[in-house]
């Protein structure tokens, strides 16, 4: 990068670090640290939701999908936008859950069912969540390595991962959710503009006719039709995206759902999701289009490195620096949101419910920060040693499924079905563990012939059947008054 690009990156990172220090002065309680005191406006909430979900990892895996599968990947943003709009209109899941004023999803498990369901659900959630973010650090380091002209393998990758980890830990330990929300607002604007300009510049240099021609010659209609069996997707995958890119990423996944929990009212939650339908779609569209167009510019390269490689090739001085700065800041707040979420669940939903001691806010903050460091250490280890070859997005979907295939029937049933019982909840959570068979190393070990999407959909079906059957056969006990 040119000197001006490096200067922009350095200046912006200093600004973000300053926000971390600034945010620390606004942390007075555990509610401030985990949900920003529930004082966030819908407009700021949209920027926070969009900023966290439009992180560096999001851009990289969507560009990878676009580079690998072409315009057929655009079914993902269409699904995300429509489902977010529907949830904004109806308040499905997010409004009744916010009304309970819980800080974490497992808190709802105890409110609706019992303490043992809370602890069991929290253990599964943490296991799936930490496994899910296991590749975040490595993918971010690959981006940085390519941008700065270094090797995305070997010792340069390890050094970059270590440096990024130190930066992320400092930022997270300082400001909690307050720093996330403040930074998200700035980077949401910055990334929206810079990614939009990136896509326009690429498109102007390529043109629609050339883009269509290249993908026709490369994959015929499979590059445009996700239902085509050779597109890399297929009918089962599109259904899987309705669950993952749609319902789960908006209303079930904890880091996104936490943005509903920080809203001050039911109407504010609905307004937030209505407004967020466009950025939730755009976070897929822009990087997918950039990845698809990168094929024309780069030819055959590693799909994961396509985004930074084409950025170096086509972006002018100045805009490249703004884009890289925004993505690095987005990386920090995304990591921050995830580390906060899982560490908060470990302390508040696993340790505290089984502990007989008193937990002050100061004690909770101390232990949450301790588990932030532990979780970050695992992310460093897993990024170095995991050897799966699935696309990053498919890895994220199936690791997350370990939690959400059991959580979908549990949360919907718990909020809307009076017969939902603690036994049904536990059965659903346990059945959701069948999603583990969708993880590529596990599939290979057991020689499972089905892809991850079919296994994930099957897990949702099994968990739903187990939830309903166990709730009917073992109803909740009535409390005598």
Q: For the segment 128-147, what is each residue's pLDDT rounded down to a tens digit?
A: 999 999 999 999 999 999 99
Structure tokens at 327: 């993505």
Which residue do the tokens 């239902």 mark? 227
Q: Is the pLDDT of residue 343 over 70?
A: yes
Of 263, 245, 265, give the one whose Cα is nearest residue 253.
245
Please tell me the predicted confidence (pLDDT) of residue 159.
Answer: 95
Please tell me the predicted confidence (pLDDT) of residue 16.
Answer: 72
- Average pLDDT over the chain reads 86
Evaluate whether 106 touches 113 at the Cβ level (below 8 Å): no
Give the pLDDT confidence of 156-210 residue by residue, as tens digits.
Answer: 999 999 999 988 887 777 655 555 666 666 777 788 888 999 999 999 989 889 9
- Mean of the pLDDT values across residues 270-287? 86
> Is 131 exposed, middle or buried (CB count within 10 Å of its CB: 0-12, 13-18, 19+)?
buried
Helix ranges, 299-421 (H)? 306-314, 319-345, 352-354, 361-385, 392-416
Structure tokens at 143: 């981006």
Please tell me the predicted confidence (pLDDT) of residue 39.
Answer: 53
Give the pLDDT confidence of 230-247 residue by residue, as tens digits.
Answer: 888 999 999 999 999 899
Angstrom distance (rounded) from CA 279 to CA 273: 10
**Number of neighbours of residue 234 by Cβ within 10 angstroms:** 17
- 155-169, 236-250, 286-300, 329-343, range with the lowest pLDDT: 329-343
pLDDT band at 25; cut points 50, 70, 90: low
> Is 359 exposed, middle or buried (CB count within 10 Å of its CB: 0-12, 13-18, 19+)?
middle
């Amino acid at each position: 990068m040119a000197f001006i690009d490096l200067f922009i990156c350095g200046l912006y990172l200093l600004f973000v670090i300053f926000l971390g220090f600034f945010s620390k002065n606004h942390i007075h309680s555990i509610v401030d640290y985990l949900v920003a005191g529930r004082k966030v406006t819908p407009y700021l909430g949209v920027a926070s939701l969009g900023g966290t979900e439009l992180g560096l990892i999001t851009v990289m895996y969507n560009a990878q999908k676009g580079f690998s599968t072409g315009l057929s990947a655009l079914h993902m943003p269409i699904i995300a936008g429509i489902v977010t709009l529907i949830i904004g209109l109806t308040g499905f899941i997010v409004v009744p859950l916010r009304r309970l004023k819980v800080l974490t999803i497992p808190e709802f498990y105890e409110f609706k069912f019992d303490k043992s369901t809370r602890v069991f659900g929290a253990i599964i959630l943490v296991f799936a969540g930490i496994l899910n973010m296991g590749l975040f650090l490595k993918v971010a380091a690959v981006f940085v390595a390519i941008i700065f002209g270094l090797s995305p393998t070997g010792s340069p990758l390890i050094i970059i991962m270590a440096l990024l980890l130190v930066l992320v830990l400092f930022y997270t330990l300082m400001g909690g959710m307050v720093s996330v929300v403040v930074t998200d607002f700035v980077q949401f604007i910055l990334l929206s503009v810079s990614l939009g300009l990136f896509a326009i510049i690429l498109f102007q240099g390529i043109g629609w006719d050339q883009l269509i021609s290249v993908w026709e010659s490369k994959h015929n209609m499979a590059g445009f039709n996700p239902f085509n069996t050779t597109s890399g997707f297929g009918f089962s995958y599109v259904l899987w995206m309705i669950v993952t890119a749609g319902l789960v990423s908006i209303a079930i996944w904890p880091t996104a759902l936490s943005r509903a929990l920080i809203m001050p009212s039911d109407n504010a939650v609905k307004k937030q999701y209505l407004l967020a339908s466009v950025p939730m779609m755009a976070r897929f569209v822009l990087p997918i289009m950039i990845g698809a167009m990168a094929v024309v510019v780069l030819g055959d390269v590693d799909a994961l490195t396509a985004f930074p490689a084409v950025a170096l090739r086509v972006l002018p001085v100045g805009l490249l620096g703004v884009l890289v700065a925004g993505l690095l800041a987005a990386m920090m707040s995304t990591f921050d949101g995830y580390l906060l979420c899982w560490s908060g669940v470990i302390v508040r939903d696993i340790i505290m419910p089984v502990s007989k001691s008193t937990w002050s806010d100061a004690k909770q903050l101390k232990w949450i920060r301790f588990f932030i460091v532990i979780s970050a250490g695992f992310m460093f280890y897993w990024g170095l040693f995991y050897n799966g070859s699935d696309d990053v997005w498919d890895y994220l979907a199936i690791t997350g499924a370990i939690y959400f295939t059991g959580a979908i029937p549990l949360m919907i049933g718990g909020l809307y079905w009076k017969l939902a019982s603690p036994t049904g909840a536990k059965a659903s959570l346990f059945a959701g563990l069948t999603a583990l068979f969708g993880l590529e190393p596990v599939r290979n070990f057991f020689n499972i012939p089905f892809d991850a999407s079919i296994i994930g959909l099957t897990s949702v079906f099994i968990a739903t059947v187990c939830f309903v059957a166990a709730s009917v056969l073992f109803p909740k006990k009535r409390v005598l008054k």
